[in-house]
Amino acid sequence: MHDEMVRLVEWMMDLKRRYHETDDERLRTQLGHAINATDSAIDALVYQLYELTNEEIALISY
């Protein structure tokens, strides 16, 4: 789980760097979708790490 979290965080940092460096709106849209998907994957790992129930996840999700 640790290695997966590190991989996702490094990927997120790269995506955000690329997002802020480009002026191409199409690329920014694609990167934005990738950022959202990566954020969800990180959240899922955190939920798994802390063994959260669906009810607990619902309380902290927005």
pLDDT at 61: 85
pLDDT at 27: 98
pLDDT at 3: 97
- The answer to whether 8 touches 42, Cβ cutoff 8 Å, is yes
pLDDT at 62: 72
Rounded to two decimals, the pTM is: 0.88
| Nearest Cα to Cα of residue 8 among 60, 62, 52, 46 | 46
- The answer to whether 8 touches 45, Cβ cutoff 8 Å, is yes
Q: Which residues of the chain have pLDDT under 70?
A: none
